[in-house]
A and B are shown apart, each in its own frame.
Chain A
Amino acid sequence: MTATSAPLPVPAIGAPLPTYLVTALDGEQVAAYAAASGDRNPIHLDEDAARAAGLPGTIVHGMLIMGQFEAALRGWRPECRIETMQTRFLRPLAVGGGLRIEGRVAKIETEAPLRLIVRLMVRDGAGTPICVGDARVGL
Chain B
Amino acid sequence: MTDWQPVADVDFETRSESVAAFAAALAGKPAAVASEPAQRVPATFAFTVLSRPEVLRVLEGLAADRDAVLVHQAQQFEYFAPLLPDSRYRAVIDWHQVPERADRIVVRARLQDTDGAEVQRLRAEIVLFENRRDHEGAPSA
Contact = CB atoms under 8 A, between A and B. Distances in A.
Contact of A69 (B43, B47, B72): B43
A34 B126 CA distance: 18
Interface residues on B, range: 35 or more
Contacts of A6: none
A32 B74 contact: no
Interface string B50-90: 11100000000000000001111111111100000000000
A90 interface: yes
Contacts of B74: 86-89
Interface residues on A, range: 35 or more
Interface in A58-77: 59-71
Contacts, number: 117
Interface string A98-132: 00000000000000000000000000000000010
Given A36-B22, A59-B141, 11 more contacts: A32-B31, A41-B69, A67-B26, A70-B42, A82-B79, A84-B76, A84-B78, A85-B43, A89-B74, A89-B140, A92-B139
B78 A62 contact: no
A38 B12 CA distance: 13
A54 B21 contact: no
Contacts of A83: 78-79
B22 A54 contact: no
B26 A90 contact: no
Interface of A is mostly: mixed
Contacts of B72: 61-63, 89
A36 B18 contact: yes
Given A54-B131, A63-B44, A82-B43, A37 B51 contact: yes
Interface of B: 18, 21-22, 24-28, 31, 34, 42-44, 47-48, 50-52, 69-79, 129, 131-133, 138-141
B139 A35 contact: no
Nearest to B140: A89
Interface string A39-60: 1110100000000111110011
B9 to A, nearest CB: 18
A136 to B, nearest CB: 9
A43 B44 contact: no
Contact of A53 (B48, B69, B77): B69
A19 to B, nearest CB: 17
A87 B28 CA distance: 21
Given A70-B42, A84-B76, A88-B73, A25 B28 contact: yes
Nearest to B134: A54
A88 B50 CA distance: 18
